[in-house]
């Protein structure tokens, strides 16, 4: 008897596995217990993956030539109460230093004005789903 199971690796990626039950190796009682245990593990993995799924939304990503400028942006934004955070540059775009500032798109105009007013060397402003 074969049974397909969905398993999840450490990054949450799903993959299929086939569990084969050999009646000549295990008794029917052991086989039934193993099947129940596998089904329990499968259902708990599905619940965990549902709770750990991240929703993507359109965000403003500010990239920089240097890490110093990225950290300066973080400090200025904290002082000016502009919400956002430093993140690694998403794969969809490239940057000189590998760090970027991410903020909700609704703060785009505030951030544009902020970047023009302060002495920050910004590489680019991107609107992407993260």
The whole-angstrom separation of Cα 11 and Cα 2 is: 27
CA angle (94 as vertex; 79, 83 as ends), nearest 5: 20
Q: For residue 59, what are the β-bridge partners? A: 104, 128
The whole-angstrom separation of Cα 21 and Cα 32 is: 10
Question: What is the average pLDDT across 55-79?
Answer: 92
Question: What is the average pLDDT across 33-47?
Answer: 60
Per-residue pLDDT reduced to its tens digit, 71-127? 999 999 999 899 999 999 998 898 788 999 999 999 999 999 988 888 888 999 999
Note the CATH number of domain 58-129: 3.30.70
**What ranges do the domains of the chain cover?**
2-52, 58-129
């Amino acid at each position: 008897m074969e049974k397909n199971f969905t398993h999840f690796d450490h990054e949450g990626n799903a993959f299929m596995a086939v569990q084969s039950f050999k009646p000549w190796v295990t008794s029917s009682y052991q086989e039934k217990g193993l099947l129940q245990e596998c089904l329990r593990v499968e259902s708990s993995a599905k619940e965990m993956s549902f709770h750990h799924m991240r929703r993507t939304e359109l965000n403003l990503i500010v990239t920089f030539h240097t890490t110093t400028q990225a950290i300066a942006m973080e400090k200025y934004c904290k002082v000016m109460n502009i919400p956002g955070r430093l993140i690694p540059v998403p794969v969809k775009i490239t940057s000189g230093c590998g760090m970027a500032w991410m903020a909700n798109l609704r703060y785009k105009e505030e951030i544009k004005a902020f970047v023009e007013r302060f002495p920050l060397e910004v590489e680019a402003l991107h609107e992407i789903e993260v």
